[in-house]
A and B are shown apart, each in its own frame.
Chain A
Amino acid sequence: MVGTKELIKNLSVKHGIERKSLLPILQDIVEKENFLSNDSMIEVARILDISAAEVYGTASFFSFLDTEARGKYKIRVCKSITCDMKGKNETIKCIENILKIKVGETSKGGRFSLLETNCLGWCHKGPVMLVNDEVYTELTPEKIRETLSEYIREEK
């Protein structure tokens, strides 16, 4: 926790302590610590002199600001209407089969988390998924298997 406090203190120096600093601070915490813990949100609230509920309100609005611990690789499948029509459900089923986890879950050993997200702006090439910052478009079962097995191999 000392680490988190220290981190947030540094981030408040970097971004300032105005209300508008909230989002960049939260983004940086997620980048460093993988997710927003209760303690980190409470500490941010204290430093910005706003309420913890308000911090959570902001965090829950953005799907990239996780408030739960996630795996090393966060797989986010676009759930917007275009990707839905182009086969989002099949995409998810395929990933679930390969990784043996359901949406919202994290694989044993904390390697992969499977999540849905709002529009990623790749509607013309749907269905799409993100693995951390990497976009994969026009997904097919083969393409998904290929992509994921690379991540699985890399881990071993």
Chain B
Amino acid sequence: MSKNTITLIIDGTKVTVEEGTSILDAAKKVDIEIPTLCHHEDLCVAGNCRVCVVEEKGKNNLTASCAAPATEGMDILTSSPKVRRARKDIMALLVSEHNTQCTTCYRNTNCELQTLASDYNVDNDIYLSVLKNNTTIDKSSWSIEKDDSKCIRCQRCVRTCAEIQHVNALAVTHKGHEMKISTFMDFPMNEIVCTNCGQCIIHCPTAALTERRYYDDIWEAIDDPTKHVVVNTAPSVRVALGEMFDYEPGKIVTGKMVTALKKMGFDSVLDTDFSADLTIIEEANELLVRLKKAFVDKEEVALPMITSCSPGWVKFIEHMYPEHLGHLSTCKSPQQMFGSMVKTYYAEKKGIDPKDIVCVAGMPCAAKKYEANRPEMRDSGFQDIDAGLTTRELGHMIKQAGIKFQELPEENFDKIMGESSGAAVVFGATGGVMEAALRTAYAVITGRPVPFDNLNITPVRGMESIKEITIKFEDCVPEYSFLEGIEAKFGIAHGLTNARAIMDQIVEGKSPYVFIEIMACPGGCIGGGGQPIPTTDEIRKKRIEAIYAEDMGKPIRMSHENPEIKEIYESFLKVPLGEKSHHLLHTKYRKRKRY
């Protein structure tokens, strides 16, 4: 046995673990569940809630098992009378200052505090309620709702925003019984550096942080006979929505989701993947134009170019690197391209007045809500996307409609902007936009498909924090002969902490890349802030597998071969980056302050 393992006893069972393993993780190895609240596997240890306490034989004080490393010969009891009493007491204290109203709470049945309080049968009799009655819910943001009366001050959100996102919008402020999770000068959420990514929401054990919900407005629109309500769903929704209906993570529920949405009364159920394909056409062409300007015309252009489909990332760069906005692709995100096309092209084809169209987006994302409300996003003459719903909200709506999801038959998306390629599907996973762009760009540059088995560009896939790939262009078509023999490097980052590393290279003038994909959330959209809770690395991986399986199942795998894409250019947009595209599919960015 290697000398850096240690052996201890947990509830009478011998366990051997690597040195440095916490007692909590050691217990997991022998299937002993110790309750936790402030602990989250994505985050560093905080050790502040104490519900994970265990008893070490021979010691008087209880130990927080998430924070204490296992040591040789330890004899641990995870459920002694002393431990159970302490846990119940801690739970009761938490409840005594909690705004317990589970029946009306958005996290009802999906709340870690509620589950523990119920497991330990905490009645609220031991301690008098010390709930502060002067808290108000901050609903200033389009995306995030913050309700301090439901906060247990575990600081998972603070650690998420610092470690995963490097935004640090949230901090622990004040002290003692006034201590709370707050922002710079206690400013409302819409006035600060928050990117609306929603990662804090999916890491919050309670309903203290939730997405701002819009489904009542959507029901109202559906029930209004004068409105034509269109819904489009992003690729990562179909590989996660099943989790809301007791499917294992990684289940693909595309067909059932479409059926459910039709049953709910949407007039047309369409696919954001269509506009993901559209994004690829515009973005790949934009990249080629920038490369031509740099290589042939010797013009000053901002390279590397960086993707702009992740609204959390876009707001991040606007706050943190306002001097470098030129690197962002001017392409709108697929959601926003969808909206502007629905209220122009689709409206024209269907013969419906765009003012009567309500366009709803089903998204894995909290930031999409805010993006829909950016003042720039009205190029169709109307608000392009009327509302963004999270995967969770869609799940709630399906439940509200009394639909038995598992029993549903499978249907296909409707026509006109319902067709998509496998390239659009992979948008949902980190590396996906890069893969989709390369499939198309390589074909345009060389006239041949990318030289990877089955078009699967595997080096850009997976959970590694920053990925890169080098592609050599050979035997280029005459128009792109300026790229002949060039070895171009492409970079991919997910999670804003990794984005920062990429940006710092650019600031120092040391970026080796020509094109970079950045997604605000770990794992890409499949790990988005609007996805079902919990989201862990294991679950992210399963959703990613499902994305690639869905891609392989598509008859068309490259964006430029999507027949509906060909059709929209022929009959409406004419050419990529053309006048109509410029007006409807591209956008501008703004500098923001860093606090």
Contacts and interface: CB of A to CB of B under 8 A. Distances in A.
Interface of A: 38, 41-42, 45-46, 50-57, 60-61, 67, 118
Given A38-B185, A42-B595, A53 B174 contact: no
Interface residues of B, number: 19
B168 A56 contact: no
Interface string B555-595: 00000000000000000000000000000000000000111
Contacts of B548: none
Given A42-B595, A51-B193, A56 B185 contact: yes
Given A42-B595, A61-B174, A61-B175, A54 B168 contact: yes
B229 to A, nearest CB: 39
A56 B173 contact: yes
Contacts of B436: none
A118 B192 CA distance: 30
Contacts of A45: 594-595
Interface string B136-178: 0000000000000000000000000000000111111111100
Contacts of A46: 594
B594 A56 contact: no
A50 B175 CA distance: 20
B345 interface: no
Given A56-B185, A57-B173, A61-B174, 15 more contacts: A42-B594, A45-B594, A51-B168, A51-B184, A51-B193, A52-B193, A52-B595, A53-B169, A53-B171, A53-B173, A53-B183, A53-B193, A54-B171, A56-B183, A56-B184
Q: Describe B's contact surface by its main secondary structure.
A: loop
B305 to A, nearest CB: 27
B594 A57 contact: no
B179 to A, nearest CB: 9
A60 B172 CA distance: 9
Contacts of A52: 184, 193, 594-595
A40 to B, nearest CB: 12
17 contacts: A38-B185, A41-B184, A46-B594, A51-B167, A51-B184, A51-B595, A53-B184, A56-B173, A56-B182, A56-B184, A56-B185, A57-B171, A57-B172, A57-B173, A60-B173, A60-B174, A61-B173
Contacts of A55: 184
A45 B319 CA distance: 14
A45 B192 CA distance: 14
A57 B169 CA distance: 11
Contacts of B595: 38, 42, 45, 51-53
Contacts of B593: 42
A109 B227 CA distance: 61
A44 to B, nearest CB: 11
Contacts of A118: 176
Contacts of A51: 167-169, 171, 184, 193, 595
Q: Which 5 A-B pairs have the closest CB atoms?
A: A51-B168, A57-B171, A52-B595, A53-B171, A52-B184
Contacts of B193: 51-53
A45 B193 CA distance: 13
Of the listed residues B169, B173, B175, B184, the one surrounded by the most CB atoms of chain A closer than 10 A to its CB is B184
Nearest to A53: B171
Nearest to B174: A60
Contacts of B184: 38, 41-42, 51-53, 55-56
A56 B172 CA distance: 9
Contact of A56 (B167, B171, B175, B176): B171
A56 B192 CA distance: 13
A1 to B, nearest CB: 14
B62 to A, nearest CB: 27
A61 B175 CA distance: 5
Interface in B268-327: none
Contacts of B167: 51
Nearest to B169: A53
Contacts of A42: 184, 593-595
Contacts of B183: 53, 56
Contacts of B176: 118
B310 to A, nearest CB: 21
A62 B169 CA distance: 20
Given A61-B175, A67-B185, A53 B594 contact: no
B319 to A, nearest CB: 10
Interface string B181-218: 01111000000110000000000000000000000000
A5 B183 CA distance: 23
Contacts of A38: 184-185, 595
Contacts of A61: 173-175
Nearest to A55: B184
Of the listed residues B168, B170, B182, B183, the one surrounded by the most CB atoms of chain A closer than 10 A to its CB is B168
Interface in B387-408: none
A57 B172 CA distance: 6
A93 B173 CA distance: 29
Contacts of B182: 53, 56-57, 60
A53 B184 CA distance: 4
A120 B175 CA distance: 16
Contacts of A54: 168, 171
Contacts of B168: 50-51, 53-54
Of the listed residues A38, A55, A60, A67, the one surrounded by the most CB atoms of chain B closer than 10 A to its CB is A60
B550 to A, nearest CB: 38
B141 to A, nearest CB: 15
A50 B184 CA distance: 12
A50 to B, nearest CB: 7
